[in-house]
Amino acid sequence: MREIIKKAAKTNNLTEEEITLLLENSSFNGELFAAADFTRKQNVGDGVHLRALIEYGNICQNNCFYCGIRAAKKDVKRYRLDTETTLKAAALAKNLGYKTIVLQSGEENAAPLNEFLQIIKEIKNMGLALTLSIGEKTYQEYLAYREVGADRFLLRIETTDENLYQTLHPGMNLQNRLRCLKDIKKLGYETGTGIMVGLPGQTAKSIAKDILFFKELDADMLGIGPFIPCPGTPLENEKGGSLETALKVMAISRLIMPKINIPATTAMEAIEKNGRIKALQSGANVIMPNVTPQNERKNYALYPGKPGILQTPEEFLNSLKQTLSQIGRFVSQDAGMSLNYRPIEK
């Protein structure tokens, strides 16, 4: 196992079988996490990039079995922020020193395109980098967002196992999601994807295939989090994923893709106190503080136990800075472009 970890750190390559072995064996977790932390430090440094998260809306047309805002969940109070509210949240983030905004929403096709394009323009006029995480769209829509200034796009694949994907995502199609990622990459976005770890029916081998898919895609950023069962969904009674396994997936991904951006996700904190700190010490270099208006945060409930709902953005930032200093890290002062990113050739 030590030889596999050394190989990953030295060559940034592993086979499916080697990744599977690392995932199935917990005896060397400390060495794996330490190697990922060292690789992170050597390649992207000690700065932690902050992305101000605006949960733009929770309206969704999909019925993913694990999701707390799935279309069939009738007890969700649906909302979509108006332009003024969205831009006010972005301005607050800028005033707090954030250099990047993440606009995240449920996957809906009814949102007015022109209004959304205007929001993108206005955020870009503030001098901020912009990441979108709004789901599957047409090539023309991705192009329109890009033409008015969107820099990055995050579209998690959740699993590349076609049978598992179809089971968990009724009415959706893995091939279309892959098409979307290819379109995003082709248009020159910094391209992000990721998976949920611990889904019912998921195996170490299928996760190994997911990790190799990240490398094949040449992803610039990865969002990796544990599966957390949500009440009122088809998977509410299933066993949740573990922080340990999610950290291992993240650490292996860092070793074979040393220059990418990897968030310490909120879901990690939701299942274990200091989960985000453990992630930062196992390869992560990004945190996404929430600047969504507090009256709507509780309605963007993808899973139960979401931390920080009652904290103001100012309180969170002050607390985070103190915590980072305690582990020898600091808030980066730039927009945090992925060092893995290579602009498309014209």
158 in a labelled binding site: yes
Q: What is the DSSP string of 271-337?
A: HSTTHHHHHHTTT--EE--B-S-HHHHTT--SSTT-TTSSS-HHHHHHHHHHHHHHTT-EE-SS---
Which tokens sit at 180? 């979307």
Radius of gyration of the chain (CA): 19
CB atoms within 10 A of CB 321: 15
> Which amino acid is present at 55?
E
Picking from 57, 53, 126, the residue whose alpha carbon sits closest to that of residue 91 is 126
Angle CA(99)–CA(298)–CA(62) in degrees, nearest 5? Answer: 90
Contact by Cβ (8 Å): 45, 280: no
Is 180 annotated as ligand-binding? no
* Chain center to CA of 263: 6
Measure Cα distances from 220 to 108, 214, 277, 286 in Å.
Answer: 25, 9, 22, 13
Sign of the CA dihedral with 276 first, then 330, 152, and 81 last = positive
> Do the annotations mark residue 64 as ligand-binding?
yes
For residue 78, count CB atoms less than 10 angstroms from its CB and return exposed for 0-12, middle for 13-18, buried for 19 or more: middle
Go through 243-273 and write b for each residue having 16 or more CB atoms within 10 A of its CB, e for each that does not: bebbbbbbbbbbbbbbebbbbbbbbbbbbbe
Q: Say how many C-beta atoms besides its own lie within 10 A of residue 157's C-beta.
A: 20
For residue 226, what is the enclosing H or E element? Answer: strand 221-226
Point out the annotated binding site: 60, 64, 67, 158, 177
Point out the annotated binding site for S-adenosyl-L-methionine: 158, 177
Point out the annotated binding site for [4Fe-4S] cluster: 60, 64, 67
